[in-house]
Structure 1
Amino acid sequence: MKFSVFTASTPQWSPEVAAKTLAAQGWDGIEWRITDQDDAPVPGFWAGNQATWPLATLARDTPEIARITHDSGLEFSGLGGYARCDNHDDVETLLVATAALGARQVRITVPRVGQGNYREAFALAREHFEWVTERAAAHGVKALVELHHGTLTSSASAAMRLIEGLDPEHVGVIHDLGNLLIEGQEDYASAFELLGGYLAHVHVKNVRWCPRTVAEPDGSVLWDSQWAPLRTGQGDVRGYVDALRAFGYDGWVTCEDFSTDLPLEERTRDNLAYLRSVSAPR
């Protein structure tokens, strides 16, 4: 397996600093966050993230992305795009850049739930992904569907319903340990077997569930999910990696740690050490 970092999780670093720091720590690759984001007085994961490339200027920025990545010695594990499958212009922009960079694969998002009838939204998303897969094939790249809580594809089973029958050379699934702890959890080995050749990429982060400090009037206790360090969250990272290895997966494992228990540079360094330790042959 090769290990990379998604730059959504490195908001305080400029692209130059992110690439140089991760390379010096020994990471194999980088997954650039690409989206038009809001400004923020303090860099954050989702707004004001300094390691994010704007979608609006992606075509112009592509040579600079390539230079920074190649100069650092890192590989592309893919591109972390946010273009939704029904926004064909933005999807095309991402696919063109993925091909130009030699990044091979790029995330294309699906609609969130709660925005209309699920069955109808799912059927439309399937139609859009048929188009996405055709365009990915035209550019010689692969479009990725992420398993993400709150979306039409929160589980491996849902993702398979979305893309089954499409060309696995040009469409695949990102399996995500942390997201599945919030919604969509299925036995890892079974999920990998279900996805088969559509398992194209892996994201790793961790989560802890915490009870709310104030109970409901009837005494009910509600729980909220929080991002947690890889070592201490409720997800079994070692067991997850073991299941990947047993399935025969030997691709990219991209870390996107949104916990803040440790300072950023210490966090990324420790995450790599931990991932290497749990993936070492035993």
Structure 2
Amino acid sequence: MKVLVLTKPFGDAPPQQLADHLAQAGADGADLLVRDGHTVTPDTVGRIAETTRALRGNGLDLGMVSTDLTTADGEAERVIGHCAEAGATLLRLGFYRYDARIEHAAAVDRARRDLAGLAELAARHGVRLVLALHHGTLHPSAAHAARLLTGLDGIHVHPDPGNQAKEGSEHWRLTLDVIGGPGRVGCVGVKNAVWEPEARPGEWTCVWQPLADGGVVPWHTILPGLDALGYTGPLSLHVHYPTDDPFTAVRRDVAHLRGLLLEAGRGASADGTTN
């Protein structure tokens, strides 16, 4: 399992500086975020190739490109095309947000049509798509994602237990069983969170936590379980919590993840319990 780092903490760092940061932090590659205010934006997608060269010069891969794409429009054509030209063949789609004011079945039908269009576009370019399990969307869990992706075999799932903690939790093995096993997983998001009390008595909120500090997601059982099931795809480490020193935060969490992976390699059963 290769360790990618979502590039969000580094903002608009130039490609070479970004590549240097990731290499020094101990990553295997980048999960490149394409968004305004970052190294590559929707208007500068030509920079994907430049970023790929910088990463490779540091011995790293462009393991995945994360986007906000939700429709097969001109922007999607440009982004996916540049990914294909740069050899970046795994792309994370945007989020289909849940809105209680919109009739649910209609929202699902529209999302499915948009996903089908994106799947067709990506197939023409030889790019694989993944849909992340994300709070506040029509796909916060495996079951909801499976409903959206029925018949769309070209789109894989991006489980993210940290995101899923925002709306409760779901056993990691159940997630894989529902979506069809590790072969349907394109990437696994890695982060952690904790529940903290609000100022108002009796109310709690789920906030991001450094991976190295633990949290509600049991990575010490998830990673051995993934290994036992034969998952060999990428892990994408996310540093979403506030920090004054993104580089140090990323380096610390990468080192912690490496330690967890070493422990996972010592053997585990498919339900995540150590042998």
TM-score category of the 2 structures, normalised to the smaller one: 0.7 to 0.9
Shift of 1:261: 5.5
| 2: CA distance, partners of 1:62 / 1:103 | 9
Report the equivalent of 1:19: 19
Report the equivalent of 1:74: 60
Instruction: Say which of 198, 214, 218 aligns to 1:212.
Output: 198
| 1: CA distance, partners of 2:243 / 2:43 | 33
Partner secondary structure for residue 189 of structure 2: strand
* Pairing 1:36-75 to 2, within 5 Å after superposition: 37=36, 48=37, 51-58=38-45, 60-75=46-61
Q: Are 1:175 and 2:162 counterparts?
A: no
Distance 1:65 1:265, change over 3 A: closer
Shift of 1:180: 0.7
- 8 Å Cα contact 1:110/1:125 also seen in 2: no
| 2: CA distance, partners of 1:185 / 1:136 | 31
Distance 1:98 1:12, change over 3 A: closer
TM-score (structure 1 length as normaliser): 0.86
| 1: CA distance, partners of 2:260 / 2:51 | 31
| 2: CA distance, partners of 1:11 / 1:273 | 21
- 8 Å Cα contact 2:26/2:255 also seen in 1: no
- 8 Å Cα contact 2:34/2:67 also seen in 1: yes
Report the equivalent of 1:111: 96
| 1: CA distance, partners of 2:14 / 2:192 | 25
| 2: CA distance, partners of 1:246 / 1:102 | 30
- Per-residue CA deviation, residues 58-92 of structure 1 (Å, 9 max, x unaligned), is 1x3233223222222210111011122x3522222
> What amino acid sits opposite 1:191 in the alignment?
T
TM-score (structure 2 length as normaliser): 0.88
Report the equivalent of 2:253: 271
* Pairing 1:211-250 to 2, within 5 Å after superposition: 211-215=197-201, 221-231=202-212, 232-250=214-232
Shift of 1:11: 2.9
| 2: CA distance, partners of 1:269 / 1:61 | 25
- Per-residue CA deviation, residues 120-143 of structure 1 (Å, 9 max, x unaligned), is 111111111112111111111111
Q: Are 1:158 and 2:139 counterparts?
A: no
Partner secondary structure for residue 165 of structure 1: coil
Partner secondary structure for residue 30 of structure 2: strand
Partner secondary structure for residue 111 of structure 1: coil
- 8 Å Cα contact 1:192/1:247 also seen in 2: no
Partner secondary structure for residue 240 of structure 1: helix
Shift of 1:12: 7.2
Distance 1:34 1:154, change over 3 A: same
Shift of 1:262: 7.2
Report the equivalent of 2:185: 199
Report the equivalent of 2:79: 94
Structure 1: 5+ residue stretches without partners:
38-47, 216-220
Matched pairs, number = 260
Partner secondary structure for residue 134 of structure 1: helix
Structure 2: 5+ residue stretches without partners:
267-275
- Per-residue CA deviation, residues 128-161 of structure 1 (Å, 9 max, x unaligned), is 1112111111111111111010011011111111
- Per-residue CA deviation, residues 86-134 of structure 1 (Å, 9 max, x unaligned), is 3522222221122111111111123211151121111111111112111
Q: Are 1:120 and 2:106 counterparts?
A: yes
Report the equivalent of 1:45: none
Measured on the aligned residues, the alpha-carbon RMSD in Å equals 1.8
Shift of 1:184: 5.9
- 8 Å Cα contact 1:206/1:257 also seen in 2: no
